[in-house]
Amino acid sequence: MSVLEMKVPSPGESITEVEIATWLVEDGDYVEKDQPIAEVDSDKATLELPAEESGIITLKAEEGDAVEVGAVVCLIDMSAAKPEGGSSTEAKKEEAPKAEAPKPEAKKDTYATGTASPAAKKVLAEKGISASSVKGTGKDGRVTKEDAVKAVPSMGTQPANGSRGTERKKMSMLRRKVAQRLVAVKSETAMLTTFNEINMQPIFDLRKQYKEDFKAKHGVGLGFMSFFTLAVVRALELYPDVNSMIDGDFQIKHDFQDISIAVSGPKGLMVPVIRNAENLSFRGVESEVKRLALRARDGQITVDEMTGGTFTITNGGVFGSMLSTPIINPPQSGILGMHNIVNRPMAVNGEVVIQPIMYVALSYDHRIIDGRESVGFLVAVKEALENPVELLMDNNPTKALEM
């Protein structure tokens, strides 16, 4: 018998542990080589685990288990023949006899019924839930700590009609890590946000004039992200403190701009990085944004593609957000929030004119970025976006968009 031990591969250099999110096969199934057999969560991404060989699989870990990189999670018997007439899963379903459900024994209430253990009392007190409202599963109906952990606050009186169902689902390792990082940002940084508004009409005019030729020439659209990315690169060069980070008692400044772009993927928010954005043209930025967004959407993004970054851009406007205070992506010190574009009345040359306006927000770590730098940075972004031909295209839009 030839048995292969499948071990957890390393998703990235800094990752030592993953969590089995979902087994896509059952114990005893026949699997084909390269068939996805599990989804594993790290603190940075969810990845598929493919079968290394064909054969009968024996699972060595449960869903929800945290396993170290290099640990054996399943065995594959490569000497086993492929079952005829369908998968082994179907065969098991046909063979499985119908077992009669055991009749539950009637439990009698005692003095302990509804009484909470000391550990359960503490958990219920933190949740603000009365022990009498929780059904105990312990001996004689006693409320256990597990009962208290699973208990949810009452949502009011049951209505005559309508569903009142709830679902308890463990958060993914990625989501839990994000939650920890967000709480840490609020407690460990001096985060402030400054706001401004941008008249998007000049960019609207440029896109209207060049977007068809740009797409025909380069195979990608001329979107807003390239304008914002290049405006951010220029502003970071003018205000390098915004492109820095804190390391203990030291401030680390970068002479490059790796721009993290927040995108919504099937597993939640992901932040792939555009490397050395200062060297990219409009075409280069649009191509890279499209490539990374597609990889995030298809679940192919790697940890390395989301690691690093010196500054982040997030676009809540695609979901309809008018204004928000984006939260810093540590260990970075700044994040720019884009929002929706709305036609608003604006004073132009002494007259009220309807213009497409976007509100923008810069959240920053006040420990190393002062008001002068933060406000100056956002004004520099505004200036570049309202004067793109002069400040982003060197007064030659045709040449800038052909590169």
Dihedrals phi, psi of 399, to nearest 5 degrees: -70, -45
Q: Are strands 259-261 and 311-315 parallel, antiparallel or unpaired?
A: parallel
Task: Work out the percent of the chain whose per-residue pLDDT is above 90.
Answer: 49
pLDDT reported for residue 16 = 80
Q: Is the pTM of this model over 0.75?
A: no
CB 280 within 8 A of CB 227: no
pLDDT reported for residue 87 = 52
Helices and strands counted in the chain (H then E): 10, 19
Hey, which residues are catalytic here? 366, 370
Q: Could you tell me the sign of the dihedral formed by the alpha carbons of 79, 80, 84, 90, in that order? A: negative
Q: Could you tell me the sign of the dihedral formed by the alpha carbons of 38, 41, 46, 47, in that order? A: negative
Q: What is the DSSP letter of 279?
A: G
pLDDT reported for residue 264 = 77
pLDDT tens, position by position, 14-65:
678 888 888 999 999 999 998 989 888 876 667 788 999 999 999 998 888 8
Task: Work out the percent of the chain whose per-residue pLDDT is above 70.
Answer: 88
pLDDT tens, position by position, 61-84:
888 888 888 899 999 998 888 887
pLDDT tens, position by position, 186-229:
888 999 999 999 999 999 999 999 999 999 999 999 999 999 99
Confidence grade of residue 106 (pLDDT, cut at 50, 70, 90): low
pLDDT reported for residue 83 = 81
**CA–CA gap between residue 280 and residue 3 (Å, rounded):** 50
**Mean pLDDT, rounded, of the chain:** 85
pLDDT tens, position by position, 138-188:
766 778 877 888 887 765 555 557 777 788 877 777 777 778 888 888 888
Q: ∠ CA 140-144-147 to the nearest 5 degrees?
A: 110
Dihedrals phi, psi of 305, to nearest 5 degrees: -75, -15
Q: Is the predicted pLDDT of residue 294 greater than 80, yes or no? A: yes
Q: Is the predicted pLDDT of residue 111 greater than 50, yes or no? A: no
169 compared with 244, residue with greater pLDDT: 244
**CA–CA gap between residue 359 and residue 339 (Å, rounded):** 6
pLDDT reported for residue 299 = 74
pLDDT reported for residue 178 = 76
